[in-house]
Amino acid sequence: MSKLKNALTGEYKDRISILTPKNCQQVRFKLVSKKSAKIIGKLAKTIMEETDRIKNHLIGHDKSMKMI
């Protein structure tokens, strides 16, 4: 593991920070993802601005979202 850390440190220098936890040490990652939804039905036919608000049902299934 130290060889990998040394190689990454040499390649990326100050651009990233490298953590090498001990065995069985808990590590937490904060992953941020962009959420989007498909709009179907009559609502999809109307032209909307970015600031417009929508009151409808948001349905999530298998990591995809649909607004009906």
pLDDT tens across 29-59, in order? 888 877 777 777 777 777 777 777 767 667 7
- Here the tokens at position 12 are 């990326």
| Number of domain units in the chain | 1
Domain assignment of residue 54, given as a range: 2-67
Q: How far apart are CA 18 and CA 23, in angstroms?
A: 16
Encode pLDDT of 4-36 as tens digits: 888 888 888 888 888 888 889 898 888 887 777
Q: Are 8 and 16 in contact (CB under 8 A)?
A: yes
Residue 56 Cα distances to 4, 38, 40, 41, 44, angstroms: 50, 12, 11, 11, 12
